[in-house]
Every structure is written in structure tokens, then in C-alpha cells.
Chains A and B, each alone.
Chain A
């Protein structure tokens, strides 16, 4: 292989007459194995290999650090809210309440009227049980007497129990 070109490039390199491409050729040429480089050019291997500085790199932590240090505050755009928009949630809640109320009333109304119809007293539907008013009076008196006795008994029983409890507490 003819190494004249490389030799010439090396010479021009040291005279600062090479272009960037030619310098790249030299770097690539001297990056190969020593035995592949002819004897007369081997002396230049370290000179060009020393120019490969790619091992000097920063770690990824550096990126993270920089990104932390340079995070831009997020741009927030101001938005004007009209009175209608501001009151919208309130109106919505009111509408929901209104709907619920309307439905409730609508369901309740027929039920109420049915109940009212059942509770109403229709005097004309009643029929007399006794024909003789005195007999009816006696019966009512008996019934009230019975009720009165019942009340008396209950009251006595109540007061007795309270008395006994009172004495027990004492």
C-alpha cells in the first residue's frame, strides 16, 4: 500500500495546512492497530491517539442537575371569568335542587290526596245503632264507667309502684 499520501498529510498537518477532513483522515488512520501502520509512521501514533478525548465525558447526573437548576416556571395564562361563568356551579346546584324538589312534590301530591280522602269523616254514612235514646245513653254511660274504672286502676297501680320505688330509694 502506498503511504505517501499519509506521509504528505502528516507533513502538512504540522505546517497547519490540512483541512478538517484531512485531519479526520489522519486520526482515523492512526487509530488502527500498531502493526497495521508502517514502521516510518508509527512514531506518530501516540500523537494522534492522544487527540481522542472522547472518554472525558460527564455523567447523566449532570443532566439532571442542570435540568433542576434551569427549570422554567410554567407559564400560566390569566383567564377572565364572567359573572355567568362564575355562578354556573351555583346555578347548577340550584337547578338540581329544583328538579329534586319538583319530582318529590309531584310524587307526594297524589299520596297526600289519597290519605286525605281516607281521613275525611262522612257523617251521612253513619247509621244509628239504637232506636231508643235512653238505652243508648245507658250504654254510653256504662262504657264510660268502664273506662273510668280502668283509668283509676291504672293510676293506683302507677302511684303504688312509684311509692314503693320511692321508699326503696330511701
Chain B
């Protein structure tokens, strides 16, 4: 098996980890913290790297668990989720020229994704955004491939349905 090098194998996963954390926590600062902590946790377990089959899935699993802990903590502290969603939108609202109708629709879809249950959100993130196979997602999430498929199916259906409802009735 290939020897794992932190700088070439783990560090480039930072954006992927960050996006997954962002999808779960819905907050940029929290997501960055989670990504950093994931890196450190992975680093601290470097003695076990040889026994890990898929370092990427391993990192993503740690990242997801950390992000879930954080979001649970945030929920307990009654932090508003809307705040996080707004924060996520800033980068897109920065340029007024980009605020076309199309852009707003994209934003609407992003918001709809953020409103999905966490499992569906994470599955969708890993499949549709990071382009992972069902098998890999199952490994990261610790569920069966069938469950992954069900979650993604529900997520896509919900998004499609809610999106067309919003478009039709302007909800």
C-alpha cells in the first residue's frame, strides 16, 4: 500500500473537508475550525495511517463527526441557523451585477439544500458536489449504500419539489 504523506495526501483535502463542514454547520468560521481540527486529529493519529485503507474517507468521517458535534452544540445554545445561511450568502451578494434572477434562483436552491436534514445534506454534498461514489459515501457516513441512495433520492426529490413550488407560487 502507498505510504501516506501528510502534505501531499491529507492537506489537499482541506477544501473538501471545509465544504462538508460548511454544509453541516452552515457557518464559515465553524467550518474552518472543523477543517483545522480534522487535520490535527488526522495528524495525531499518524501512527495508524498504515492501517487506514482510504485516507480521504477517513478524513471525511472525522470531519463529519466533528461538524455534527459542533452543530449539535450550536443547537443547544439556541444559535440561529439563519445567521449561518446569511453568512454563506455574502460572497455571492458582494457583486451587485451578479444579482441576476438566475443567481437568485441558484441561491434559492442552495438555501433549499441547507434546509434538508443533515444526513440527506451530507450525502448530497458528497455525491453531487464532491463526486463520490455511493460506496465511498457509505464508508464516510457509516451507513449502507442502499441508505445512501435513499437519502440522495429523497434529497433530490425534495429540492426539485420545493424549487418548483417556490417558482410557481413564490413561496
Instruction: List residues of chain A with CB under 8 Å of any chain B CB.
Output: 13-16, 20, 23-24, 34, 43, 45-47, 49-53, 55-58, 62-63, 65-67, 69-70
Candidates B40, B107, B108, B129; contact of A51 at CB < 8 Å:
B129
Number of A-B residue pairs having CB atoms within 8 Å of each other in the complex: 79
Chain A binding surface, main DSSP class = helix
Tell me whether B159 is interfacial, beta carbon within 8 Å: yes
Decide: B110 and A50 in contact? CB cutoff 8 A.
Answer: yes
In the assembled complex, how far is the CB of residue B148 from the closest CB belonging to chain A, in whole angstroms? Answer: 9
Decide: A58 and B18 in contact? CB cutoff 8 A.
Answer: yes
Tell me whether B54 is interfacial, beta carbon within 8 Å: no
Instruction: List residues of chain B with CB under 8 Å of any chain A CB.
Output: 6-7, 11, 14-15, 18-19, 22, 32, 35-36, 39-40, 43, 91-92, 102, 105-110, 113, 125, 127-129, 131, 133, 149, 152-153, 156-157, 159-160, 163-164, 167
Instruction: Report Cα–Cα, A54/B18, bound state, in Å.
Output: 11
Decide: B43 and A69 in contact? CB cutoff 8 A.
Answer: yes
Given A65-B36, A69-B40, is A23 in contact with B105 using a C-beta cutoff of 8 Å? no
Decide: A58 and B163 in contact? CB cutoff 8 A.
Answer: no
Given A34-B102, A53-B129, A56-B15, is A14 in contact with B22 using a C-beta cutoff of 8 Å? no
Q: A67-B7, A70-B39 are in contact. List 5 more A-B contacts (CB 8 A).
A: A51-B128, A53-B19, A58-B14, A63-B11, A69-B39
Candidates A24, A46, A66; contact of B109 at CB < 8 Å:
A46
Q: Closest residue of chain B to A10, judged by CB? A: B160
Candidates A43, A53, A62; contact of B14 at CB < 8 Å:
A62
Decide: B106 and A50 in contact? CB cutoff 8 A.
Answer: yes
Residues of A with C-beta under 8 A to B108: 46
Q: Closest residue of chain B to A23, judged by CB? A: B128
Candidates B35, B40, B106; contact of A70 at CB < 8 Å:
B40
Residues of A with C-beta under 8 A to B19: 53, 56
Candidates B7, B14, B131, B159; contact of A23 at CB < 8 Å:
B131
